[in-house]
């Protein structure tokens, strides 16, 4: 079965929209910072701001040229941190090479860090403190599993990739002692030995290493769940755009073996955006002393 990420994300956005419609006073607000010109980032930011608009979240985009210095960018973040009516701040990555991304992401006030990249939020995730923000892609994947009635408790989850944004927080989230998690988690990476047999033992395989069509049919167990986080641009001269977006999974050959699989596009991607909206509303509610769900 193909998990329809667009459908589930749309349902969530509708739920958030219904909640926001009934708020009194100011609307929730998200401020997005984008530096330089990076075509995929332009597309992601456009999708994020459009989703905000549809949901009733006010969004503002702050654009800076690629020549901006790190200290200028830090000053700007500090101004956004100090503004009481800003609920969420997101700095779109990647940043130009002369800027240390981690200095920027760690400068965002933890209580406005709706991307969940600040060490305070990552620490809260590790200790099971639910007042923090969980990074959007792992949170989106957990939500996809819950809404597809896929049990994780006691299951072997194999995560391919150990990134700060996906692999590491995904592992922390699914190993939590909560009914929606309770998984046995293995994180595999570029130095992992016996990768194929580890993947074959996965009840749930999460591919997040950024290698086009890396996961092939011989690597997955019959009847397993395959979640594809990859967004890879590969050249395709026969297409009008000259490129094609493919995941980290060889979808065509893996799908027949899997019980559930997410497509690319239309799987995890829309969920990441839905969770950004959800985190922004959570920030608003915490700030305004409202109870969310």
Q: List C-alpha distances in Å: 88 to 44, 60, 157, 174, 256.
A: 16, 10, 31, 25, 41
Question: Considering 13, 92, 221, 248, which one is annotated as catalytic?
Answer: 92
Question: Considering 87, 113, 115, 203, which one is annotated as catalytic?
Answer: 115
Residue 231 assigned ligand-binding role: yes
Q: Which of residues 76-135 bind ligand GUN (CB under 6 A)?
A: 90-93, 115
β-strands 29-35, 58-64 pairing: parallel
Query: Helix, strand, coil proportions of the chain in percent (round to 5)?
Result: 40, 15, 40
| Residue 184: CB minimum distance to ligand GUN, A | 26
The mark string for 248-287 relative to ligand GUN (x by CB under 6 A, - otherwise) is ------------------------x---------------
The mark string for 139-178 relative to ligand GUN (x by CB under 6 A, - otherwise) is --------------------------x-------------
| Residue 100: CB minimum distance to ligand GUN, A | 15
Residue 2 assigned ligand-binding role: no
The dihedral built from the CA positions of residue 139, 257, 200 and 228, taken in this order, carries a sign that is negative
CA contacts within 13 A on the Cβ side of 172:
25
Q: List C-alpha distances in Å: 58 to 52, 147, 222.
A: 6, 27, 45
Q: Token digits for 258?
A: 């899997």
99, 136, 181, 273: which one contacts ligand GUN (CB under 6 A)?
136
| Residue 69: CB minimum distance to ligand GUN, A | 20
CA contacts within 13 A on the Cβ side of 195:
14
| Residue 280: CB minimum distance to ligand GUN, A | 13
């Amino acid at each position: 079965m193909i998990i329809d990420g667009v459908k589930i994300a749309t349902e969530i956005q509708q739920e958030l929209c219904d909640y926001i419609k009934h708020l009194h006073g100011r609307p929730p607000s998200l401020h997005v910072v984008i530096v330089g010109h990076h075509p995929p980032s332009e597309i992601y930011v456009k999708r994020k701001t459009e989703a905000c608009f549809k949901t009733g979240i006010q969004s503002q985009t702050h654009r800076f040229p690629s020549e901006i210095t790190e200290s200028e960018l830090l000053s700007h973040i500090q101004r956004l941190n100090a503004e009481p009516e800003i609920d969420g701040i997101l700095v779109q990555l990647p940043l130009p090479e002369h800027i240390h991304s981690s200095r920027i992401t760690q400068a965002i006030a933890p209580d406005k860090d709706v991307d969940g990249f600040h060490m305070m939020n990552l620490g809260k995730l590790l200790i099971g403190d639910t007042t923090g923000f969980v990074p959007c892609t792992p949170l989106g994947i957990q939500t996809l599993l819950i809404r597809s009635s896929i049990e994780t408790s006691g299951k072997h989850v194999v995560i391919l990739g150990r990134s700060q944004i996906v692999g590491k927080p995904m592992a922390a989230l699914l190993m939590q002692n909560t009914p929606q998690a309770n998984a046995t988690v293995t994180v595999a990476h570029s130095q992992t030995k016996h990768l194929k047999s580890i993947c074959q033992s996965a009840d749930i395989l999460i591919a997040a290493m950024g290698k086009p069509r890396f996961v092939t049919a011989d690597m997955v167990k019959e009847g397993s769940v395959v979640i594809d986080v990859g967004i890879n641009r590969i050249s395709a001269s026969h297409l009008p755009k000259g490129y094609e977006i493919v995941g980290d999974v060889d979808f065509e050959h893996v799908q027949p073996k899997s019980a559930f699989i997410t497509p690319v596009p239309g799987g995890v991607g829309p969920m990441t955006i839905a969770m950004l909206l959800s985190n922004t509303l959570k920030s608003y509610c915490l700030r305004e002393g409202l109870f969310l769900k």
